[in-house]
């Protein structure tokens, strides 16, 4: 679907309400939506100071539309009430619950996201341990964890890691270790070039990684990360940029072969496309 029903039904009502309210429409330059099981969050972006009069109008609108509203301006953030973002994903008949943050990355198209996760799960046939880079709030981590003995997942965003830990509890996933660590730091830890306090309770040598999953930003993988993940027999690569994926695959296919390739259209009628690739090492491990 191009947009979920919650947002589709809300947009014209929100637009009409904003047009009728001078306080709320003045210097408004952007509107963002997050729709989930627990409700809809509307983020309003402004080029002005948000005063008490504005806050009263915002809360009135939130009550009228039955939504959560977050207003942002330079150095300011106002909430209409308690922020509670919890969503559910149905993947092959299994329900997974996710706690979300308004300022953290989430997959934009829920229906397509469910298909992406199902595809990634289908890439695993009897895995040992999983290493995941750029894990976010656990979108792939949680569902895939039930196909592995142990999972080590890393992410640089503090809020995403906090949500990932909550999501483990929500889904009863007990075999995952989350680390707030970027890819370069993780590679340094594997190479033993320095010690990290964040790893004091985790012994990397105890893991038997059969798979690595990467879901990098649009810039793709750096040369050093490519060389690092070559050390793993199976690579699951989720890409939001076909151009950088092509460049990365030119290097990865020197040591690995493509087993599966899938396209996911998260943004209907645009040039954006999400790709999933499963690679397997050419030489035996």
Contacts of 230 (CB under 8 A, 6+ apart): 252, 255, 256
Active-site residue flag, 168: no
Strand-by-strand arrangement of the 39-46 sheet: 28-36, 39-46, 68-73, 76-79
Active-site residue flag, 274: yes
Instruction: Taking the CA atoms of 272, 164, 6 and 44 in sequence, report the sign of the dihedral they define.
Output: negative
Tokens coding 167: 């999501």
Annotated catalytic residue: which of 36, 168, 240, 275? Answer: 240
Annotated catalytic residue: which of 82, 274, 275, 280? Answer: 274
Break the chain down into helix, strand, coil percent, rounded to 5: 35, 30, 35
Tokens coding 21: 């309210």
Q: How many Å apart are CA 204 and CA 165, to the nearest integer?
A: 20
Give burial (CB, 10 Å; 0-12/13-18/19+) of 35: buried
Q: What are phi and psi of 157, to 5 degrees?
A: -75, 125
Q: How many Å apart are CA 143 and CA 123, to the nearest integer?
A: 12
- Nearest residue to 148 (alpha-carbon basis) of 167, 123, 166, 113: 123
- Nearest residue to 124 (alpha-carbon basis) of 260, 241, 264, 265: 260
Catalytic residues: 240, 274
């Amino acid at each position: 679907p191009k947009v979920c029903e919650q947002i589709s039904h809300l947009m014209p009502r929100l637009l009409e309400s904003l047009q009728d309210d001078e306080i709320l429409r003045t210097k408004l330059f952007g509107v963002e939506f997050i729709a989930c099981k627990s409700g809809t969050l509307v983020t309003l972006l402004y080029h002005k100071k948000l005063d008490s009069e504005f806050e009263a109008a915002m809360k009135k609108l939130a009550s009228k539309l039955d939504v959560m509203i977050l207003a942002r301006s330079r150095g300011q953030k106002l909430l209409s009430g308690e922020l509670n973002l919890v969503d559910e994903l149905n993947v092959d008949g299994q329900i997974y619950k996710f706690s979300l943050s308004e300022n953290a990355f989430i997959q934009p198209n829920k229906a397509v996201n469910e298909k992406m996760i199902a595809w990634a799960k289908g890439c695993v046939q009897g895995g040992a341990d999983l290493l995941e880079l750029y894990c976010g709030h656990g979108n792939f981590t949680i569902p895939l964890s039930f196909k592995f003995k142990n999972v080590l997942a890393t992410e640089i965003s503090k809020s995403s890691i906090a949500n990932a830990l909550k999501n483990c509890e929500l889904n009863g996933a007990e075999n995952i270790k989350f680390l707030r660590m970027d890819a370069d730091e993780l590679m340094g830890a594997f190479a033993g070039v320095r010690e990290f306090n964040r790893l004091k309770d985790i012994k990397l040598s105890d893991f038997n990684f059969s798979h690595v999953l990467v879901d990098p930003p649009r810039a793709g993988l750096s040369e050093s990360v490519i060389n690092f993940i070559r050390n793993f027999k199976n690579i699951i690569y989720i890409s939001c940029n076909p151009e950088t994926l092509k460049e990365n695959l030119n290097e990865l296919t020197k040591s690995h072969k493509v087993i599966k390739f899938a396209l996911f259209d998260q943004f209907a009628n645009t040039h954006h496309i999400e790709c999933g690739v499963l690679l397997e090492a050419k030489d035996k491990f």
